[in-house]
Every structure is written in C-alpha cells, then in structure tokens.
Amino acid sequence: MATPSPQQLPDVESLGAEDLLVWAYEEFGDRLCLTCSWQKQSSVLVHMVSELGLPIDFVELDTQLFFRESYETRDRLIERYGFSLVRPHVITVAEQHRQEGPNLWERDPDRCCHIRKVEPLVSALEPYDAWASGIRRDQSPSRVATKKVEWSERYGVWKLHPVADWDEKRVWAYIKVNEIPYNPLHETGYRSIGCIPCTRPTTPEEEERAGRWAGSDKLECGIHAPSPLGEGASKPAASARDASGD
C-alpha cells in the first residue's frame, strides 16, 4: 500500500492508542513494525498490538548492554503473547572496544549510541514504511512536542507514537488492570531504563528520564532525532531480516 501524504492523514491526534494502531495497520499492513526496549511502554504496546490481533513485526533494539531484568521481561512477554522478534545486527561490545577503544559510552556516548542503536535501527527499518514506538510527551522536555504521527526524514518512514498523550500514571494503570508483565527495575527507582553503563535510578522529584546519561547534557540516544543521518551514518550492509534468525 502506498505511503499516505500528510494531506491524506486523518485527525490522528484525536485517535486513541488502539484506534491509531488499527488505522496504521489498515494503512501500512505488514510494512508497519513496533520497536521494543523492554520498558513499561513496550509492555503496554506489546499487549495492545497482541490484543488487537495485528500481525506486525516486533523489532528488538538489543545493545547487548541491557540489564538482566530487561532480558527477563522480554522473555516473559514472549511467553505470554507468543511473538517472535526481528533482531538487527549490532557489533559485539568486544568488537566495539577494538574499533573505538574501551568504554566508548564514557568517552563519547553519542558515538556509542549511534553504533549500538541508530545504525541497527536504520537496518531494521529497511523493509518498513511505518514504525511505532512508545515515546510519551511527558517523559522529558525534549519530547513534549511529539506528534502521534509524523514523517521521519532520518529513516524515510512514518513514525507512530500511540501513547504520546499518555502520562506515566495512565501507563501504570493500563499495566495493572491488564496484568501485563513489566520490567521489575521500574519498582527500584528506574523510571526510564536503557543500557547498564548509562542508566541510574531517579528520585520522585526528578524528570522520568533524568537517570539516562546522568551527569552529561545528553538527553536522547539519537534514534528519535529529527535530522537526517550524515554521510558517515550509512546503512549497515546486513539487513534486519538477514540478522534476525527468524
């Protein structure tokens, strides 16, 4: 199905999360995917897509630096909902050490995120026209203007944010009511969860994502940046489907 122009979009901002996902599937079919990082929004969207019976691909952006609890959450969700994962290729941490030097996340976290998240996502999105993620406007100032549907010049796909207008309380209410498996680190002060070296717990007074890259001015990993990729960020040779093993 052809990708719609902005003039053809319905009033997506008025659509609830479920209705937006149904509209997106009707529009894009199997060229729609959902990315998962095994935080609470992943739990919500995995449940929602599964309950709606939408046969779309789930893409795991595994940096190989996740917490044990994140991988265990993934396994519990797979056991409950019975989905398989597309896993884009990412170089090993050992190979990154050889190419870039040790502990790149300490010296140049932007470069580390680019290698371990942005480049794999570029590869993963090659077969798709639309990509759904769990961004919410209330997570941080850098996300307050997030639209429910927007065109990404960076990846050449439509970005969908079904829970953009949800607050954190609504996310937890949905998880509790539907008894959805979730990452237990959320109960120990980790309101936002990324890679082990770059994530710390937060206090209730802090912003939700204040524990990500703490002590630096970095706010985002880069996968949601609006700017086009530079020439040095060409797509990796291996596609997501080649690397997924599915």
The secondary structure of residue 195, as a DSSP letter, is B
221 is catalytic: yes
> Coil, helix or strand for 86?
strand
Burial 135-146 (b: 16+ CB within 10 A, else e): bbbbbbeebeeb
Instruction: Tell me which of 36, 112, 195, 221 is the catalytic residue.
Output: 221
Residue at token pair 């997501």: 240
Structure tokens at 180: 């959805």
**b/e sequence 181-203, b meaning 16+ C-beta within 10 Å:** bbbebbeeebbbbbbeebbeebe
Helices H, strands E: what count in the chain? 9, 6
The residue type found at 168 is: E
Catalytic residues: 221
